[in-house]
Amino acid sequence: MKILVTGGAGFIGSNLVDRFIAEGHEVAIIDNLATGRRSNINPGASFHEVSITDADAVAEVFAHERPEVASHHAAQMDVRRSVKEPQFDAETNIIGTINVIEAGRAVGTRKFVFASSGGAIYGDAEVVPTPETAPLQPMSHYGTSKRAGELYFGLYGRLYGLGWTVLRYANVYGPRQNPHGEAGVNAIFANMMLRGETPTIFGRGDKTRDYVFVADVVEANVRALTLGDGEFFNIGTGVQTTDQEVYDAVAAAVGFTQPANYGEERAGDVRHSCVDPSKARAILGWEPTVEFREGVRRTVEYQREREIG
């Protein structure tokens, strides 16, 4: 199968490209390397250094590659930047998504798999773990732009018969996660501890998130190539993990013995975010397989070996 992955030099996208190539698919990548790394690019894929905000360039890549399926992972994913720079967030996550959809429609791409956000879209949900049927009440521009992307895929499905599957990720972590960004607390903590620095927990350490290992996310994407048309799926563990538990797990993997620093809780942070993956289990036959502390150990070892920083 010919598959095009936007954001294929990034954390999740590059892991996905590796899996597709290992399974014998022909893969093309679009990435502007703003947050992706050239070192992440699988040499077996064709690479196009293009921004999804450049409609003409994206259309040229699709016309050249003519993918059967497109996996749309390129995005502006910094929640705080989305609040500070809402125009930039919308240009990338809304206009960029439209550019990708239009380019695919023009060349007959039959299906898109869209990486959305289970954490940002539901906001402070009343039901935790949160099912796909819960009210969508994003608390950031990022969450709103991701929801807009979902709506556009639904629209193109109704108007033109475009196939799509939306995967709403919980907090994804694992090898290749950027330890210098706003997102990715596991990678940030690991990087600091490996340098002998003490990370800061914002608040009392009792906020919770749902952490899903990147290899499990990749497996969900593989299944979505042929299953789940026209459906939304939460991709998470359904298990709440506190900030303090994250700190303790990373410290144990690193061998770091200093207690955390604590700072003021940040305005706008969702207190509890955890998704219910039951629908993905029932329709995609997917479920998470990597236990949190094992995933943290693999993440720390990756960073230790590459001395990221």
Kindly state the helix (H) or strand (E) to which residue 5 belongs, with its residue range. strand 2-6
HEC-encoded secondary structure of the chain = CEEEEECCCCHHHHHHHHHHHHCCCEEEEECCCCCCCHHHCCCCCEEECCCCCCHHHHHHHHHHHCCCEEEECCCCCCHHHHHHCHHHHHHHHHHHHHHHHHHHHHHCCCEEEEEEEHHHHHCCCCCCCECCCCCCCCCCHHHHHHHHHHHHHHHHHHHHCCEEEEEEECEEECCCCCCCCCCCHHHHHHHHHHCCCCCEEECCCCCEECEEEHHHHHHHHHHHCCCCCCEEEEECCCCCEEHHHHHHHHHHHHCCCCCCEEECCCCCCCCECCECCHHHHHHCCCCCCCCHHHHHHHHHHHHHHHCCC
What letter does residue 60 receive in the DSSP assignment? H
Catalytic member of 142, 156, 173, 211: 142
142 a catalytic residue: yes
Catalytic residues: 142
